[in-house]
Amino acid sequence: MIPFRSQPPPPRLREGYQLLSQPEVTAAELNQLLALCGDRPRSAERWQRALERSAWYLGVRDGAGTLVGFVRATSDQALNANLWDLLTDPDDGGRNEVLLALVQAALARLRRELGGCSISLSAPPEALEAVVRAGFVVDPGGIRAMGRRLRQN
């Protein structure tokens, strides 16, 4: 996916929801989101390493303080930036707004901090509408990304 330069206006999150930069998150909260999204949990140590090695991360909390959305960014600080772990609670009524808010906020921050970088995004199928609205082109020119899931031993 390749982002365009123009951005639609940022979405409004529902009342009580907050988009947070570098929120305090626990492995249990992140694993809860992974489980809700049908993915396997990760160890606390693995989450700690992922967060430490990330350039930054964003989260969305609802009015009750529950983590309902998350995304993190990595970069070589020169040419490439990657967005990982785009997670949202599938049972949350504001899921579409949360997805769009996370994607747009992440792209805005990448453009501001790493303007010349190529940006890749690993996203679940339900995020397709949000990433297209944010200006990404899916499989430009027929180019498809590949990934490999490493097993934990």
Q: How confident is the model at residue 28 (pLDDT cuts 50, 70, 90)?
A: very high
Q: How far apart are CA 53 and CA 72, in angstroms?
A: 10
The residue with tokens 């579409």 is 96
Q: Encode pLDDT of 117-148 as tens digits.
A: 788 777 777 777 777 777 777 776 766 665 55
Question: Do the beta carbons of residue 87 and residue 34 sit within 8 Å?
Answer: yes
In the chain, where are the structural domains located? Answer: 2-140
Evaluate whether 37 touches 90 at the Cβ level (below 8 Å): yes
* DSSP H or E segment with residue 74: strand 67-75
Distance between CA atoms of residues 114 and 4, nearest Å:
15
Q: What are the angstrom distances between the C-alpha of 88 and each of 2, 9, 85?
A: 22, 21, 9
Q: What is the tens place of the pLDDT at every residue in 51-110?
A: 999 999 999 999 999 999 999 999 988 888 889 999 999 999 999 999 999 999 998 898
Q: Would you give the distance in Å from CA 23 to the centre of its chain? A: 14
Q: Look at the domain 2-140 and name its fold.
A: Aminopeptidase (3.40.630)
With beta carbons less than 8 A apart as the criterion, state whether 54 and 74 touch. yes
Helix (H) or strand (E) holding 51: helix 44-52
CA 81, CA 99: separation in Å to the nearest integer?
19
